[in-house]
């Protein structure tokens, strides 16, 4: 995961975009199961028995081995609910291999709903474990199954869930640029698919899928950094993203706008002499090629600036969704201001207490915040308070004691007192031993 400070504009919160489109045959049972599971975990936490939480978690894991798909779905739903509601690092760091194996099995053989839940569970598992070898293993093991979904183009809910999962596990688990670029290439093939030698037609993603893919691609682009750029390499994707600003679907326009704002922030459209293509050894032809390339990039920047300004001023017709229209205007006004003056967006969220503030001051941070906020859904605040991964990404300083409930404070203080007592006892024992050694030396 890049240490860089990390919206999915137009998309629903909490990863529900895929689930909302699923068949609702057993929804009542699933909701009841998830509610019961959450209550069990809350009860275990409230009674201060970590072993009880582990017992409940193991029960869900056992259900993932069942042959009946509905049983596995309920277990996955309960686990997703638990991952959102608590930061279960201590309970899963020694079980993540088993969990990952069962989640990937559900992706291989499950229903649409089971696949979507499993993808979400894998992403949440990576977020829970944080950056490190475990999340890198999660990325390596899950990516082949996720790529298979993206390459076979099944139902849109599966595609969107796979995109979300791939983006999150790569964001958390990737250890170098090549791994990130590999996932970005797979996502770009969904955004802008091209026909290969054995493909008869070029698939065209529908708006919800396209918006999801653009947002996932931009999320990973935040980890690349402006030092990892070559203008000629980025010209094609930026040109295509600029064409999406004229798409009919507002969610697509918003996603493309955010991605392009990030491209401007990373200076991917800026031309420097050592990046311009050299096509001939003849000095005059080379110079002419450089000049033409520079003019092309300047024209592209001007086109994007014009489209952004028009979208910031778009008038709403009869029957237009005023809230979404206002969201679009606001976003593109901020992008337009940024292109003109370099003024970055700023946002502050109080996470806890007096000093627990999450602040973003760039497009990179804003995209990271909004993507993770959407992916974590109602669990975002809990993870922002207790998950070290988010503390590292957004440089959040949390007073853990101030954020605790009365019961948690009592437990914490009790543990502190136990620690102090153990330390004092150890110091007394060492002092006695030193004294005895001195006496032994003196009196033989």
381-402 burial, b at 16+ Cβ within 10 Å, e below that, comes to: eebbbbbebbbebbebebeeee
Res 324: pLDDT = 83
Q: What are phi and psi of 203, to 5 degrees?
A: -70, 150
Res 271: pLDDT = 73
Res 292: pLDDT = 79
Rounded distance between C-alpha atoms, residue 384 and residue 23, angstroms: 32
- Check: CB of residue 415 under 8 Å from CB of residue 422: no
Res 294: pLDDT = 80
Q: Whole-model pTM above 0.85?
A: no
**Number of Cβ within a 10 Å radius of residue 256:** 28
- Tokens representing 320 are 């237009």
Query: Can you give the pLDDT of all 444 residues of the chain as single tens digits?
Result: 644 444 333 333 344 444 444 443 444 454 455 555 665 665 555 444 456 678 888 999 999 999 999 999 999 999 999 999 999 999 999 999 999 999 999 999 999 999 999 999 999 999 999 999 999 999 999 999 999 999 999 899 999 999 999 999 999 999 999 999 999 999 999 999 985 444 556 788 999 999 999 999 999 999 987 655 566 788 899 999 999 999 999 999 999 999 999 999 999 988 754 444 544 444 444 556 667 778 888 899 999 999 999 999 987 655 456 778 899 999 999 999 999 999 888 999 998 877 788 999 999 999 999 999 999 999 999 999 999 999 999 998 876 555 556 665 555 455 556 556 666 666 667 777 676 666 666 665
The residue length of the chain stands at 444
- Tokens representing 353 are 């207490």
Res 5: pLDDT = 40
Res 315: pLDDT = 77
Res 39: pLDDT = 59
Res 11: pLDDT = 37
């Amino acid at each position: 995961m890049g240490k860089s400070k990390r919206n999915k504009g137009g998309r629903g919160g909490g990863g529900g975009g895929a689930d909302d489109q699923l068949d609702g045959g057993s929804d009542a049972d699933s909701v009841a199961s998830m509610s019961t599971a959450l209550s069990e975990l809350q009860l275990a936490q409230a009674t201060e028995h970590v072993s009880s939480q582990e017992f409940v978690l193991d029960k869900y894991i056992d259900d993932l081995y069942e042959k009946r798909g509905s049983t596995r779905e309920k277990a996955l739903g309960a686990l997703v609910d638990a991952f959102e509601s608590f930061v279960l690092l201590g309970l899963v760091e020694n079980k993540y291999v088993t969990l990952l194996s069962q989640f990937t099995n559900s992706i291989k053989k499950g229903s649409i709903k089971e696949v979507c839940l499993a993808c979400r569970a894998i992403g949440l598992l990576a977020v829970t474990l944080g950056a490190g070898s475990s999340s890198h293993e999660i990325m390596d093991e899950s990516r082949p199954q996720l790529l298979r979904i993206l390459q076979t183009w099944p139902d849109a809910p599966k595609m969107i869930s796979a995109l979300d999962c791939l983006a999150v596990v790569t964001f958390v688990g990737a250890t170098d640029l090549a791994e990130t670029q590999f996932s970005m290439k797979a996502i770009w093939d969904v955004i802008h698919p091209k026909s290969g030698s054995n493909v008869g037609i070029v698939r065209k993603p529908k708006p919800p899928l396209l918006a999801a893919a653009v947002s996932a691609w931009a999320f990973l682009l935040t980890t690349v950094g402006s030092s990892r750029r070559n203008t000629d390499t980025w010209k094609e994707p930026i040109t295509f993203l600029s064409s999406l600003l004229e798409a009919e679907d507002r969610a697509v326009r918003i996603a493309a706008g955010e991605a392009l704002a990030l491209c401007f922030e990373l200076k991917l459209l800026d031309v420097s002499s050592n990046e311009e293509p050299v096509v001939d050894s003849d000095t005059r032809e080379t110079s002419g090629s450089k000049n033409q390339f520079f003019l092309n990039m300047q024209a592209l920047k001007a086109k994007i600036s014009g489209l952004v300004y028009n979208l910031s001023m778009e008038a709403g017709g009869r029957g237009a969704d005023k809230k979404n229209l206002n969201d679009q205007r606001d976003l593109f006004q901020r992008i337009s201001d940024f292109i003109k003056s370099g003024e970055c967006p700023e946002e502050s969220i109080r996470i806890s207490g007096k000093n627990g503030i999450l602040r973003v001051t760039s497009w990179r941070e804003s995209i990271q915040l909004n993507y993770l906020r959407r992916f974590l859904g109602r669990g975002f605040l809990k993870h922002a308070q207790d998950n070290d991964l988010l503390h590292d990404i957004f440089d959040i300083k949390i007073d853990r004691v101030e954020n605790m409930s009365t019961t948690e404070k009592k437990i914490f203080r009790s543990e502190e007192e136990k620690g102090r007592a153990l330390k004092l006892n150890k110091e007394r024992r060492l002092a006695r031993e030193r004294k005895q050694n001195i006496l032994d030396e003196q009196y033989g």
